[in-house]
Structure 1
């Protein structure tokens, strides 16, 4: 299947570094970041897994669970995790799916035949508590992922879910936000009684809601 934004991410059960893992049961009511790797013992992915392990408290603070996927088996993952701890200074502290039969890779459309017929591309899926796909990013094998940007986009998604705003280019926590154009004048005044800066009728800037 080909997953698009706002599609429901399907459930699956697969082996992992933490045993048999049923995705929906494991995810519960949390947001999820699932990120895939082409295979074990790859240099860029080794640094990424170490980075996510270090950032796990930041994800948890946002109510987000993290989970990796690689197409090798659980025994290989266990050996790789030793290298991650040794070279990155942080042990693996989240599950790594053992997708040796490519079942999950096929289910989530993580194999791009023009890149490789057998290995997953390096994709990030951000999934909300309703199991809807909210963000997808796909990176080439040579470029390490920017997890600070992934945290930023989660902050934006969670903020804009709570308030009728959107975030502008390069937005960071605490920065100005945009009142959504669909919000009429009267409703905007009720929600933002201190007013806004209007650059254009469709571009109204307000301080970030608390």
Structure 2
């Protein structure tokens, strides 16, 4: 378990797309949290560099304001930084007092940096121990399906996080792939054809090409 491992024991591990998310057990602002607790629902697991910082505060307000939208997509939110639990508690209490927003999702402490290193949230050789702005999309079976990393000085777009989550769910549900800029309600694209017959059939479809066929053009919408 990652909660008992030293940073040197996990430094060569990293979360990878289509592999199981590394499990862990950690204290959080909402009690003890285990990665395995989230099986059966999607999880948006994200790190931030430090509490009481301007960009992180703007992100946490945005994530909380969108919490109902994540819940409607069957997803939970989970935050992390290498700050202590007590710093997390003080920060979210101050956010509530100053911005009238109560943070309802857990924020885990990772003072040992074991979880952050296992997920690649702290870059090897970095002079800083702060976690970069990472987002991991973990499916109900516990597999990492997508990752986004931002530098410390650029805030995330919660709308983009929602878009990626929606795209992953749509792709899974309908065996389609999502083109550039796809948003809920837009047409998807069919996966590459598997044989010549399928390629020929798509060549006759209106509004597309055998290698780029919108879902509705094939009659599969």
- Taking structure 1 as the reference length, the TM-score comes to 0.88
1:199 aligns with 2:208: yes
How far did residue 105 of structure 1 move?
1.0
Deviations 1:45-75 (A, max 9, x none): 0111111111010000010010000111111
Unpaired runs of at least 5, structure 1: 189-194
Q: In structure 2, which of residues 14, 23, 47 is the aligned counterpart of residue 36 of structure 1?
A: 47
Q: How does 1:1-210 map to 2 (within 5 A)?
A: 1-25=13-37, 27-182=38-193, 197-207=206-216
Counterpart CA distance in 1 for 2:158 and 2:108 is 19
> Aligned pairs, how many?
206
How far did residue 196 of structure 1 move?
5.0
Q: Find the residue that maps to 1:7 and give its secondary structure.
A: coil
- Taking structure 2 as the reference length, the TM-score comes to 0.84
- Say which is worse superposed, 83-92 or 138-147, in terms of deviation: 83-92
Counterpart CA distance in 2 for 1:88 and 1:35 is 21
The structure with more strand, counted as a fraction of residues? 1
Deviations 1:105-151 (A, max 9, x none): 12212111454441211100110111111111111111110010111
Q: Find the residue that maps to 2:214 and give its secondary structure.
A: strand
> Relative to 1, partners in 2 of residues 1:151 and 1:196: Cα closer, same or farther, differing over 3 Å?
farther
Deviations 1:140-193 (A, max 9, x none): 1111100101111111111111112111111111112111113568779xxxxx
Q: Find the residue that maps to 2:189 and give its secondary structure.
A: strand
Counterpart CA distance in 2 for 1:70 and 1:88 is 21
Quick check: 1:36–1:123 contact (8 Å CA) kept in 2? yes
> Relative to 1, partners in 2 of residues 1:207 and 1:86: Cα closer, same or farther, differing over 3 Å?
farther
How far did residue 84 of structure 1 move?
2.0
Quick check: 1:50–1:85 contact (8 Å CA) kept in 2? no
